[in-house]
Amino acid sequence: MDNDHADAGDLEFLRAVFGGAEGGEPALGWGGVRAFEAEYGVVLPEPYRTFVAEVTDGSRQGPPAYGLVGAAGLPSDWHDDGAGRDLSKPFPLTAGWLWEEDDECHDDPDTVIDQVLDHGSLVLGTDGCAMNWHLVVTGPHRGHIWHITDVGAMPFGAQFGYTTAEPGFAGWVRHWAAGKEWFDAA
C-alpha cells in the first residue's frame, strides 16, 4: 500500500467502478483537493486523493451500503454535527478495540472513543445503524480503512485477520465490487 503515489491499475479499477455511476457527485478537481487539504491540515492518502480529484466526490452507489460520502461529508446517522472533528490530529488506534467489552485498555475510554470518531479520519459512509467506514488520513494507520460502530473499531485488510481483502481504499472497493462479505476471514 503506497499512500503517496497512485497506482495506475488501482485508478483504472476505481474509474471503472465509479466513473459512470448514476448519482455520482462531481470530482473536486486538483484545486479543490488542495483547498480541502489546506483547510483540514492533511494530505489525503492515495489512491483516494486522485479518486476525489478526478473521479467523484461521493456516490449513491456503494461501498458502503448507503453510498460513498464526499470528502467533507458525514452520513445522515452521524452522532453529532461534526463540529468537533479534527482531521489533522492523529487517529488514535493501531489495533482493533471493542470498547463495549473492554474499558480497561485506556485510562479514559470515553475520551479515546471520541478521538476514534473525530480525529484523523474521513467518514466514507455507513452501512446503517452507526456502522461507519473511515479512511485514516493522519497517524500510523494513514491510508487504512477502519470499520467503526457503536461498540468498537477494527481495521480492514488481510494483515489484521478479519478479511481476505487488500488494505487501503482500493482494496476495500475491490472487496466490495467482488461481492464478498466484509469480514470473510475464517
Q: For the residues 86-106, what does the mean pLDDT come to? A: 85
Per-residue pLDDT averaged across 72-93, rounded? Answer: 88
Choose between 91 and 111: higher pLDDT.
Answer: 91
* Cβ proximity of 143 and 152 under 8 Å: no
pLDDT of residue 3: 92
Res. 110: pLDDT tops 90: no
111-134 burial, b at 16+ Cβ within 10 Å, e below that, comes to ebbebbbbbbbbbbbbbeeebbbb
Predicted confidence (pLDDT) at residue 53 exceeds the cutoff of 90: yes
Segment 126-147 shows an average pLDDT of 95
**Cβ(116)–Cβ(91) under 8 Å?**
yes
**What confidence score (pLDDT) does residue 57 get?**
96
Q: What is the mean pLDDT of the chain?
A: 92
15-19, 37-41, 86-90, 101-105: the lowest-pLDDT one: 101-105
**What pLDDT score does 10 carry?**
97
Helix (H) or strand (E) holding 171: helix 168-177
Q: Give the whole-number percent of the chain exceeding pLDDT 90.
A: 75
> What pLDDT shows up at residue 174?
97
What digits encode the pLDDT tens for the residues 145-168? 999 999 999 999 999 999 999 999
Could you tell me the pLDDT band of residue 77, with boundaries at 50, 70 and 90? confident
| Cell matching residue 110 | 470515553
